[in-house]
Chains A and B, each alone.
Chain A
Amino acid sequence: MEPEVVNSEMLLPQNFSFKKVQMGDKYPKGHARGRHWKHLKQILQAENYQLYPTDEPNYLNIETPPSMYPSKKFCDITGFEASYMDPRTNLRYANPEVFKRVRMLPNEHVQRYLSLRNAAVILR
């Protein structure tokens, strides 16, 4: 190791005196192990919240419901209030100048603009 790296103490040592089980023993090297963790979605599914009383607060039921007001439409490109939507790209736009830009956009950018508001077409 380069002296600069050692001096900066940026690397985490392998072993610590205060640990009962060292990292290397817990996850031995060279052993292929599958994914040993679950995504939040899987964790929540495994919690079986549906078996609990409904008035008990849990991670899922404290989520905020959707807004009661209709969501405002904003121009995807400029952010101004958008009165129009391009039927071809599904992008919202504020005025004719923006529309020109919308029609000039490559498809990749269109999809990226759409995915900003979670409206992109996802092919599986």
Chain B
Amino acid sequence: MLSSATRPERQTDYRRFSPAIPIIIDNGGFNFRIGWAGESDPRITFRNLVYRPRHKATGETVTIVGDHDPVLLKYFDCTRSSYRSAFDSNVVYQFEIMEYVLDYGFDRLGVEDSQVDHPILMTECICNPISSRSKMAELLFETYGVPSLAFGVDAAFGYKFNQQHGICSEDGLAICSGFATSHIIPFVEGEPVLEACCRTNVGGYHVTDYLKQLLSLNYPYHISSITWEKAEELKLDHCYVAYDYAAELQLFQKGTKEAEEKIRCWQLPWIPPSQEDAPSEEELARKAALKEKQGQRLRDIAAAKKSTRISELEHKLHGLEDLVQQLDEVEDEELYSILSATDYNSKQEIESAVHRVTQSLRKARGEPCESEEKVDASLSEKYPLISIPDNMLTPEQLKEKKKQIFLKTTSEGRLRAKQKKFNEELLREKQNQEDEEKRLENPELYLEQTRVKYRELCERVDQRKRLKTNGNGNSSGGVGRGERLNSVQKERMRLLTTAAFDRGKGEDTFGARDEDWQLYKLMSRDNDDDDDSLDEDETELARVTTRLQEIDPEFVAKSDLAALQGTLEFTRLRPLTAEDFKINLGIERFRCPEILFQPSMVGVDQAGLDEMTGVSLRRLSTKDDAVKNRMCNSIIVLGGSSLFPGLDSRLEAGIRQIRPYLSPLKVVRSLDPVLDAWRGAAAYATSMQFSTQTFSIQDYYEKGESGLKQYQIKYSL
């Protein structure tokens, strides 16, 4: 809006107009138009906006009205304030802003005297609140010294203008979709019937805003490119109204060729990244050599560490062996003196240390380890105290006995576990063997059976997992938003609530039976109790998976598949292409204007344009169907938001549904939906009777606000 427009020149022919010639102002929510009565076009048109940035060099707050060159904004600090409009919906409410706009408008029109000495005809919304109207009158009378004023509805002027050109008759309907609101105004004998008007608070602003929001949600990376102004431009260039919204949606949902042709692209400025040369052979070789060298260094360090450890251990072993020899040679008395010099208390301890060191030496050298069972077996004889009854032992020995018992039970447990593992292995081997036999008998059948089994197991395990985590364990943001509980948790909650609320109902017999107390066990049970059957399933699944991997060349495990998909999803780190800077306008092209017909899409709980017509017709006091038929035969579409292609045919289809069968219906676009209101007003003000319709400054001082409340112009003069 503001980008391409130029500043209007100040008009120089103000002196040519006598004070009797009215100034016409179409004070629209989007554009402000000002000009002279009797002329065919407004002299000045600009966006009805005020911008008050701070001048960077001087720090002054300056005022900019309407369109301007955005390049010049570099001299201003625009962070503190944004565009301001005098309008809230379609009613003027900020008269300071309005004053700036009027200043600018009169200035561009070339007003030179000490006051604006011309009658003024200004448009306002239907049923403008009196306080807004009187503030406007106050501003014009007291600040600008206007001699007289007239207020009229823009759509009504537009309708009258079209009536004069024979587009519509004196009974009819004006459908006016503006910037902030949409109106239906019925006309009977050339006068608007205000009682039967209706207004829906949806207009061009909402369409643009909806488009902007949808695009910025769809393309979060380009949010800075999708400005309000750009959205407005896209709306004007590409949006259209679908004749049959549902059918159009179907078209896009199926992705037909027709729909593809309707998609418009908006290519954002994109600079391809500078191409980096692929590394040369030499470079690659150099890098590989460097890598190899580093690897070699690490390997050397590891080898050196190993050798030092081996030599250390050997040294220790030698020392211990010497000690053992020494101990063998000497007598018992000397034994203790030698032992006290070392860290060991007995010969046995030294022997076991020797054993340990030899073991770790073997490990370090990479030789196979001697199985521990033998050691255990030899050690098991070393629990002499266990078989002796307690009463025959000293307290110290008792302690020792306890220790021995503990050691024995743990080692026994370890043995048992080992045995179990061994048995299981045997079992599995046996199963595998059986399987193998089966396979040899009938390979195809066996393969098929295994696959089926695999699928079943997979499903069962998955189901278990899903039940446990309620199917949203992964890839979901925000846990706990209306989260459902799993079955175990649900059961627990049920028990708790029944326990809380069932008490006090009739006789309380809780606790009379022993089973009652079982309830607490259920309640306190944690929900993550492991099911044994699940484990079984999992082990079986693992077995079948390995089997399948062995015999089936086409087999891919599910977990591998998931991993593959995961990698696919995360390989997004590629260089950006022009495609990433392209914004597609497909369904948005007709989805956004659709809010005029279905305001509920943007949360406005009011009827859309086609249904409004029916509401308006029902509100008419006349019950004469002939009048209504006449009116429907002269429906005219006005306003900036009626520029969408296809709007009139859609309206016709919509209104036909609410009218009686075969009743006359004609929907036409006005001559110029945007300018007709101003032109109608300019034509109206040329009439000889115009001065009878104005509200003069004397009226203002005599009657004040109540006079303005009564004030109502007649449109047919």
Is B115 part of the binding interface, using a Cβ–Cβ cutoff of 8 Å?
A: yes
CB-contacts of A1-47 with B (<8 A):
1-2, 4-5, 8-13, 16-21, 23, 26-27, 36-40, 43-44, 46-47
Is B128 part of the binding interface, using a Cβ–Cβ cutoff of 8 Å?
A: yes
CB distance from B91 to the nearest CB of A (A): 5
Asked, given contacts A43-B93, A78-B587, A94-B253, whether A18 binds B113 with beta carbons under 8 Å apart, the answer is yes
A105 CA to B62 CA in the complex, in Å?
43
Chain B residues near A116 (CB, 8 Å)?
Answer: 210, 213-214, 602-603
Asked, given contacts A10-B69, A11-B64, A47-B129, whether A66 binds B104 with beta carbons under 8 Å apart, the answer is no
Is B222 part of the binding interface, using a Cβ–Cβ cutoff of 8 Å?
A: no
CB distance from B58 to the nearest CB of A (A): 7
Nearest A residue to B198, CB-CB: A64
Asked, given contacts A44-B129, A62-B127, whether A20 binds B598 with beta carbons under 8 Å apart, the answer is no
Is B547 part of the binding interface, using a Cβ–Cβ cutoff of 8 Å?
A: no
Are the CB atoms of B93 and A38 closer together than 8 Å? yes
Q: Helix, strand, loop or mixed for chain A's interface?
A: loop
A118 CA to B611 CA in the complex, in Å?
21
Asked, given contacts A4-B72, A112-B213, whether A105 binds B477 with beta carbons under 8 Å apart, the answer is yes
Chain A residues near B472 (CB, 8 Å)?
Answer: 103
Is B130 part of the binding interface, using a Cβ–Cβ cutoff of 8 Å?
A: yes
A81 CA to B600 CA in the complex, in Å?
14
Chain A residues near B96 (CB, 8 Å)?
Answer: 27, 36-37
Are the CB atoms of B600 and A59 closer together than 8 Å? no
CB distance from A86 to the nearest CB of B (A): 10
Chain B residues near A124 (CB, 8 Å)?
Answer: none
Are the CB atoms of A37 and B93 closer together than 8 Å? yes
CB-contacts of A71-94 with B (<8 A):
71-72, 74, 78-81, 87-89, 94
A64 CA to B131 CA in the complex, in Å?
23
Asked, given contacts A58-B127, A107-B477, whether A19 binds B144 with beta carbons under 8 Å apart, the answer is yes
Per-residue interface assignment for chain B, residues 1 to 28, with 1 indicating a CB less than 8 Å from any chain A CB and 0 otherwise: 0000001001000000000000000000
Nearest B residue to A100, CB-CB: B475
CB-contacts of B70-116 with A (<8 A):
72, 75, 88-89, 91, 93-96, 99-100, 103-104, 106-107, 111-116
Interface size on A, residues (CB 8 A): 64
A5 CA to B68 CA in the complex, in Å?
10
Are the CB atoms of A89 and B481 closer together than 8 Å? yes
Is B523 part of the binding interface, using a Cβ–Cβ cutoff of 8 Å?
A: no
Nearest A residue to B101, CB-CB: A12
Chain B residues near A56 (CB, 8 Å)?
Answer: 195
A62 CA to B181 CA in the complex, in Å?
12
Nearest A residue to B63, CB-CB: A12
Q: A13-B107, A26-B99, A38-B93 provided; 20 other pairs, C-beta below 8 A?
A: A1-B57, A11-B63, A12-B62, A12-B65, A12-B100, A17-B114, A19-B144, A20-B114, A40-B91, A43-B131, A58-B129, A62-B126, A62-B197, A64-B615, A67-B606, A71-B601, A80-B249, A88-B481, A112-B213, A117-B602
